[in-house]
Amino acid sequence: MANVKIKPIGDRVLVEHIEEKEQVRGGIIIPDSAKEKPQEAKVIALGTGKKGEDGKMSTFEVKVGDKVLISKYGGTEVKIDDKKYTLVREDDILGIIA
C-alpha cells in the first residue's frame, strides 16, 4: 500500500487512476485536456464502512490493491504530493477487474 496522507471515511474508497499508455497515430498527439478520464483504477485505501439501516457496519466488496472500474464522472479528485487520486463512494465502483 502506498503511504498516502489521507484516510477515507464512511463508504468512500481512495483510488489511483491507471493511465493508459499514450499512443500516437498519424503523428497526432491528443492533449491531456481532451483525453477522457480513465475508468480503470487501483484501490489505495478504504473508508471506515457504511452503516446499514439496522445500524450494523457493512463490509467493503473491494480490498486495497484491487483493480476496479469506476464511474466516469463519479468521485472527487485530490492531489497529494503531485499524484492524482480520486475519492469515490463504493457505489461508484462498477466492478473488479479480474
Q: What is the pLDDT of residues 87-97, one digit of tens each?
A: 999 999 999 99
Neighbours of 91 (CB within 10 A): 11
Burial 32-59 (b: 16+ CB within 10 A, else e): eeeeeeeeebbbbbbbeebeeeeeeeee
List domains and CATH numbers for the chain: 12-20+28-96 (2.30.33.40)
Q: What is the pLDDT of residue 1?
A: 46
Query: Is the predicted pLDDT of residue 4 greater than 80, yes or no?
Result: no
80 is written with which cell numbers? Answer: 497529494
Q: What is the pLDDT of residues 17-73, one digit of tens each?
A: 887 655 555 666 666 555 555 689 999 999 988 888 888 888 899 999 999 999 888
Query: What is the rounded distance in angstroms from the CA atom of residue 25 to the CA atom of residue 5?
Result: 39
Q: Nearest-CA neighbor of 48 among 74, 90, 9?
A: 9
